[in-house]
Every structure is written in structure tokens, then in C-alpha cells.
């Protein structure tokens, strides 16, 4: 302990939401739900156990209802997730199974809850898709809430915090995160959670710094400790010394000045010093995030990941539900482009909900377009909703994980059938929309010339292109050191794809995370990418970078980049040529 007080400790986690805050730590944690007793009950006790469970669920639902009503007063807060938690409380897989377990196994409710949740949780956790994996967290949050009522433990009362602090928690559920009062909470950090967790999505919407996945923050930090949270770098510093504090206060004010300056200009177009206009778009997962895209000066939606509408529930959404969500986005964006990507889930989601597919390696399995082509009913429902929403604005459709030309032809055929069926019903829709594919599988890069004949645009998904071409599981920490968009092979693949599009006269976009990091922009500009799409918060910085570049210079620069043999050499060259444009403004020491 004394050593801990004497020395500053630096923890590295996952950046949940950018920005820097410095202040006192406030530990929040729920109590009493980890240790659960197991005991047998007699036949005549079954009914009272059931009643206890039902009462606890009712209390949990009412509690969530109150939080939802409170949150709904603030338009920035996303209540969809909480609504989904309320639905989850009554879900057959949990609710029904728990009651059944109490009855069949004659065990107490707490133990039945723990048992069922552990099973369901492991089903989600075994999925390779990191997004789906994190849905296991939703189940834990929901069951913890019920368990607290069963055992009479107190929950974290975040809404009642009356000091200006930084929250430190083992985990924060979306419900807890959504109780954060912006005037009191400066930022938060958690031991668990990842970049695609709901909690980090809420943090980004609230626009407060957050670092997640720190493993041991709650063990190392005491109430009242001074900590620095650098949400941009995913760093937390405990007991910073005088020098570090000064350095981070300066960094913080530079960051804020810089953000203010670039945000002031973020509504202006991104035009290079020599006059080339680039479209800078936002990636969204939920319709609510559209506001953030507009606030940060986005020219449109370059990637609408539609998985959310399928994941926070346990049955497939119908056409009307999907249409509503798409129409909402399309209308808010007025005539700006909205690129709706069709469902990108792997086979495991069907295991979770329809429970008939089990794959040993889902990342290489029945994912995205492959799944949709095997389930034309599900696919057509989504396509009909997209075509109907297209009547209200500027919609593009984007097919994920295309690995062969025939997949495009089949997807287009089903799209046509969806349009024909709408026409025969006299529905309001628009079939005249741009069609694109994600370039995220190496075979698509090599077949780009053929594929370009069948579509209007390509969108490079570097997150998966890196995973599949460099053989690096994008969620595996062990090989994360190899995961770098500046690998010469990745740059060559982007170059080849871009060259093909110029030759064939179609547009080339990028929506993978590579597009949102300003240091990559000189290369992407030099290679000739037409449109970049990213997390909305990155838009102002990327626009600012574009303005400070000259296309002709970047083209010449790319020639040098292509002569480099290793990632390290490329990084060194980029840093030495353009690093000052970034570090001068944000992180100069
Ligand atoms: C990508 O793979 O780069 C991409 C944008 O898609 P996702 O991250 O949703 O797989
Ligand atoms: Mg992808």
C-alpha cells in the first residue's frame, strides 16, 4: 500500500471515449451478489420461491422503468438499451428457465438464477464476434439487478453522487452509466468492458472521457486517490507526481483548445490546401448517434451497422420495426447519404436465438452476407425495410464480407426480388439506390476488377481486412502488437483496390477504424480514397488534418511509403513527415 502511495502507477486499458480528466476517484460497487447460497427446497416451498423470484423481477423492472423515465428527459441519453434490459427480464430463456429450474431441481431461486445465467452467459461468451461477446454483459447486468433484490443488497446509486469525481467501478451497466450526472461526473473507468460495449457507446454519447478493460483498477485505486484519465490514449495514472500532473493539465487544456478550434471549423467542408473536397462521414450503430454525426460536422453516414436492431432482443425484428429505425436516420440526415450495411452477424447469433448452428470458428464461418444468403427470408425483410426508407432520403446499401463475385449477384437478385414485391404491393419505396460492397476479405481485393462491374462503390473495412489478411484475430490481445493498418501488405491492398476503382470509374470509400486516425490520412489521400467514415468524435480532427494537406504532396509521399518493407519503417516515415501536424496541436510535451 505504502509503495502504492509513493509511486505513480500507469494502467493501460481500452479507450472508451476520448478526452482527459483529472480528479478524485470515487469507487462505486454493488455488494453481496457474488456469493450465493445453494440449498434444496421442499415441494411445498416451490410456490413461495417462485413468488420471491417474481417479486424481485417486478422490482427490477420498476427500477429500470424509473431510470428510463428519468433518462428520457435528456435527449442525449440512450434508453433503448435499458428498454432491452426490461424485455430481457421477461425473456423465456431467462425468466422461464429460472422458474423451471427451481421447480425441477428443487433449488433456491438465487442458485437457479446463478445457474441459468452462467449457462446463457457462456453461450454468448463463446461467440467470436466481440460485439456479441459483450452482450453477455447485458445478461449479467440484468441478473445482478434481480439478484440484488433477492438478497436485499444495495445497488450502486450513481444518481445520488454529489461530489465532482471520477467514477471507478469493476463494471458499469448501461443503466448505471445512463444515471451519470454530467455536472458531477468528470469521467469513468472500469475493470471490465471493451470498445464496443454499450457502456462505452453511452460514454461517447455523453462525451466524457472513459477508459475500460483496466482489469485491476478497483484493486489499485482507493476512494479519494487523485487519478488522471486519458480516454484518448486509454491510460489511467494513479497518484501522479507533480511533474505528470503539470504535463497532463497542459495536455488537457491543449486538447480542449484544439477540440474547440477544430469543432468550430468542423461544419466547414474538408478541402485540402490545393482544393480537393473529401466527404467525411460518421459510423453509427444506433439511430441516436446521428445527432453526434451532425454535431461533429459529418457529411453523411458512411456506415450504419444494423446489427443492434437484432442483438438487443431475442427474436428477429420485423420489417416495420427496421423501417422505423432506418427512416429515422434517413430523415434526420435530410439529403445527405446514409449507407445502410446489411446484417453483419456470424452464425452464432442464430445459435443464440434460433439455436441450430454451432461453428468452431465463427469468424471464418457463416457470417454477414453468407448468413443472409442462407436466410433469404431474414435478408429480404431487411432489404424491403431499406428500400422503403430510401423513399425518404439518400440511401445506399452495403453488403458485408463479400468474398466472391457470385455473392454479389445473388444479393442483388434478392434485392431486386424485394423491390418487385414492394412494387406489386403498391408500397412507397425507392429501388434506384447505390449498391456497394465491403472490401474486407483478401479475395475481394484480388477480384476487385470483376466485382467493380457489379456495384457502384467499394467501402474498405480495414478492421476485418487486417484480421483476414494478416491472420490476426482482431479481438486477441496476444497478437494485438501485429495489428496495424500501416503494414505494407495492407497499404498495397488498399492501393490495388483504389487503382481498380479509378480504372473502372466507381467510388472508393473507407469505413474501417484506419479512416478515423489522422496519422493515416496522408496515405489514404495519396492513394485516392474518395470518402472516409469514422466514429463521429473523430470527424473534426480528420477534417482538420485534410485541410492541412496537399494532395499532390501526399501522392508523392505514397510512392516513398510503397518502398518501405516493414510496418515500423512505414510508421517512422509517416511520423517524421506528418507527425508534427498532429502532435503539435494535441500532445506536444
Ligand atoms: C471493418 O471490418 O473494417 C468494418 C468497418 O466493419 P466491422 O468493424 O463492423 O466489422
Ligand atoms: Mg467488418
CA of residue 464 to ligand 1 center, whole Å: 6
Closest-CA residue, ligand 1 atom 5, reads 512
Find cell 439487478 and name the residue. 145
Ligand nearest to the CA of 466: 1
The pLDDT-based confidence of 458 (bands split at 50, 70, 90) is very high
Positions of E strands within 198-276: 210-212, 226-230, 235-238, 270-271
Q: List all residues 6 or more positions away from 125 whose beta carbon is below 8 Å from its beta carbon.
A: 133, 136
Higher pLDDT, 579 or 405: 405
Share of the chain above pLDDT 70, in %: 85
Asked if pLDDT for residue 319 goes beyond 90, the answer is yes
> And the C-alpha cell for 450?
470483376
Find cell 453488403 and name the residue. 399
Asked if pLDDT for residue 2 goes beyond 50, the answer is no
Closest-CA residue, ligand 1 atom 8, reads 463
Read off φ and ψ for residue 276, nearest 5 degrees: -90, 130
Hey, is 147 helix, strand or coil?
A: helix
> And the C-alpha cell for 236?
489511467
Total-model pTM: 0.69
Asked if pLDDT for residue 196 goes beyond 90, the answer is no
Asked if pLDDT for residue 235 goes beyond 60, the answer is yes
CB-side exposure of 180: number of CA atoms within 13 Å?
A: 33
Mutation to probe ligand 1, out of 128, 512, 514, 515 (largest number of atoms < 8 A from CB): 512
Alpha helices in 106-173 (DSSP H): 109-125, 130-151
Phi-psi region for residue 409, left (φ > 0), alpha (ψ -120 to 50) or beta? alpha
Across the chain, mean pLDDT equals 86
Burial of 346 (0-12, 13-18, 19+ CB in 10 A): buried
Asked if pLDDT for residue 583 goes beyond 60, the answer is no
Burial of 428 (0-12, 13-18, 19+ CB in 10 A): exposed
Sheet holding 210-212, edge to edge: 9-12, 235-238, 226-230, 20-28, 165-169, 185-190, 210-212, 14-17
State the pLDDT at residue 352.
54
> And the C-alpha cell for 34?
457474488
Active-site amino acid positions: 198, 511
CA of residue 460 to ligand 2 center, whole Å: 9
The pLDDT-based confidence of 422 (bands split at 50, 70, 90) is very high
Q: In this predicted model, what pLDDT tens digit does every residue of 345-385 receive, in sequence order? A: 864 444 355 445 667 888 898 889 999 999 999 999 999 99
Identify the CA nearest to 441 among candidates 395, 408, 481.
408
553 touches 523 (CB < 8 A): no
Report DSSP state, residue 440: -
Determine the atom of ligand 1 nearest the C-alpha atom of 463: 3
Ligand nearest to the CA of 402: 2
Asked if residue 461 has its Cβ within 6 Å of ligand 1, the reply is: yes
Report DSSP state, residue 34: S
For residues 90-96, average pLDDT: 76
Share of the chain above pLDDT 90, in %: 51
Asked if residue 462 has its Cβ within 6 Å of ligand 1, the reply is: yes
- Measured between its terminal Cα atoms, the distance across the chain in Å is 31
Q: Give the Cα separation of 402 and 452 in Å (integer).
A: 12
94 touches 60 (CB < 8 A): no
Q: Give the Cα separation of 551 and 556 in Å (integer).
A: 9
Determine the atom of ligand 1 nearest the C-alpha atom of 283: 5
Q: Give the Cα separation of 522 and 455 in Å (integer).
A: 27
Alpha carbon of residue 386 to chain centroid? 21
Higher pLDDT, 59 or 178: 59
Mutation to probe ligand 1, out of 344, 349, 460 (largest number of atoms < 8 A from CB): 344
Determine the atom of ligand 1 nearest the C-alpha atom of 459: 5
Closest-CA residue, ligand 1 atom 7, reads 463
Element (H, E) at 414: helix 405-424
> And the C-alpha cell for 436?
456497394
For residues 525-547, average pLDDT: 94
> And the C-alpha cell for 90?
421477461
Closest-CA residue, ligand 1 atom 4, reads 461
Radius of gyration of the chain (CA): 25
Ligand nearest to the CA of 509: 1
Mutation to probe ligand 1, out of 195, 302, 440, 485 (largest number of atoms < 8 A from CB): 440
Asked if residue 515 has its Cβ within 6 Å of ligand 1, the reply is: no
Q: Give the Cα separation of 462 and 279 in Å (integer).
A: 18
Identify the CA nearest to 206 among candidates 309, 312, 71, 80.
71
Asked if residue 285 has its Cβ within 6 Å of ligand 1, the reply is: no
Distances (CA, A) of 377 to 274, 308, 310, 316, 587: 49, 19, 14, 11, 51
Find cell 466514429 and name the residue. 535
Amino acid at each position: 500500500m505504502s509503495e502504492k502511495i509513493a509511486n505513480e502507477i500507469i494502467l493501460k486499458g481500452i479507450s472508451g471515449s476520448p478526452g482527459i480528466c483529472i480528479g478524485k476517484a470515487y469507487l462505486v460497487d454493488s455488494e453481496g451478489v457474488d456469493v450465493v447460497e445453494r440449498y434444496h427446497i421442499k415441494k411445498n416451498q416451490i410456490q413461495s420461491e417462485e413468488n420471491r423470484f417474481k417479486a424481485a423481477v417486478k422490482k427490477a423492472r420498476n427500477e429500470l422503468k424509473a431510470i428510463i423515465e428519468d433518462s428520457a428527459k435528456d435527449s442525449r441519453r440512450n434508453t433503448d438499451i435499458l428498454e432491452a434490459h426490461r424485455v430481457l427480464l421477461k425473456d423465456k430463456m431467462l425468466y422461464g428457465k429460472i422458474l423451471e429450474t427451481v421447480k425441477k431441481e428443487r433449488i433456491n431461486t438465487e442458485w437457479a438464477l446463478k445457474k441459468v445465467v452462467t449457462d446463457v452467459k457462456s453461450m454468448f461468451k463463446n461467440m467470436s464476434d466481440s460485439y456479441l461477446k459483450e452482450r453477455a454483459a447485458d445478461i449479467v447486468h440484468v441478473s445482478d439487478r434481480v439478484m440484488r433484490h433477492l438478497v436485499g443488497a444495495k445497488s450502486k446509486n450513481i444518481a445520488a453522487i454529489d461530489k465532482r469525481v471520477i467514477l471507478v467501478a469493476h463494471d458499469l451497466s448501461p443503466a448505471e452509466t445512463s444515471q451519470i450526472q454530467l455536472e458531477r461526473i468528470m469521467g469513468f473507468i472500469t475493470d471490465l468492458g471493451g470498445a464496443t460495449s454499450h457502456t462505452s457507446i453511452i460514454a461517447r454519447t455523453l462525451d466524457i472521457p472513459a477508459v475500460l478493460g483496466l482489469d485491476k483498477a478497483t484493486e489499485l485505486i482507493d476512494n479519494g486517490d487523485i487519478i488522471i484519465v486519458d480516454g484518448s490514449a486509454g491510460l489511467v495514472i494513479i497518484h501522479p507526481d507533480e511533474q505528470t500532473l503539470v504535463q497532463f493539465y497542459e495536455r488537457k487544456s491543449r486538447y480542449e483548445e484544439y477540440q474547440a478550434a477544430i469543432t468550430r471549423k468542423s461544419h466547414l467542408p474538408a478541402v485540402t490546401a490545393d482544393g480537393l473536397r473529401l466527404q467525411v462521414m460518421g459510423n453509427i450503430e444506433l439511430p441516436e448517434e446521428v445527432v453526434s454525426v451532425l454535431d461533429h460536422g459529418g457529411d453523411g453516414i458512411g456506415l450504419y451497422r444494423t446489427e443492434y436492431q437484432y442483438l438487443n432482443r431475442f427474436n428477429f425484428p420485423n420489417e416495420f420495426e427496421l423501417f422505423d429505425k432506418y427512416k429515422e436516420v434517413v430523415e434526420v440526415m435530410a439529403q445527405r447519404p446514409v449507407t445502410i450495411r446489411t446484417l453483419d452477424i456470424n452464425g452464432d447469433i442464430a445459435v443464440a436465438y434460433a439455436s441450430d448452428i454451432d461453428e468452431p470458428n465463427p469468424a471464418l464461418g457463416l457470417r454477414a452476407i453468407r448468413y443472409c444468403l442462407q436466410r433469404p427470408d431474414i435478408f429480404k425483410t431487411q432489404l424491403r425495410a431499406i428500400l422503403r426508407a430510401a423513399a425518404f432520403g439518400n440511401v445506399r446499401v452495403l453488403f458485408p464480407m463479400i468474398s466472391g463475385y457470385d455473392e454479389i449477384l445473388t444479393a442483388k437478385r434478392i434485392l431486386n426480388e424485394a423491390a418487385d414485391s414492394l412494387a406489386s404491393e403498391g408500397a412507397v419505396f425507392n429501388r434506384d439506390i447505390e449498391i456497394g460492397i465491403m472490401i474486407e476479405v483478401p479475395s475481394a481485393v484480388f477480384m476487385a476488377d470483376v466485382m467493380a462491374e457489379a456495384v457502384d462503390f467499394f467501402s474498405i473495412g480495414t478492421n476485418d481486412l487486417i484480421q483476414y489478411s494478416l491472420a490476426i484475430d482482431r479481438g486477441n490481445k496476444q497478437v494485438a502488437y501485429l495489428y496495424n493498418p500501416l503494414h505494407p501488405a495492407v497499404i498495397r491492398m488498399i492501393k490495388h483496390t483504389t487503382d481498380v476503382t479509378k480504372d473502372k470509374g466507381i467510388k472508393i470509400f473507407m469505413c474501417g477504424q484506419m479512416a478515423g486516425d489522422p496519422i493515416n490520412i496522408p496515405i489514404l489521400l495519396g492513394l485516392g480514397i474518395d470518402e472516409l467514415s469514422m466514429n463521429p468524435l473523430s470527424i473534426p480532427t480528420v477534417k482538420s488534418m485534410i485541410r492541412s494537406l496537399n494532395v499532390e504532396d501526399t501522392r508523392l509521399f505514397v510512392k516513398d511509403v510503397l518502398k518501405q518493407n516493414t510496418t515500423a519503417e512505414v510508421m517512422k516515415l509517416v511520423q517524421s513527415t506528418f507527425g508534427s501536424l498532429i502532435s503539435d496541436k494535441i500532445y506536444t510535451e
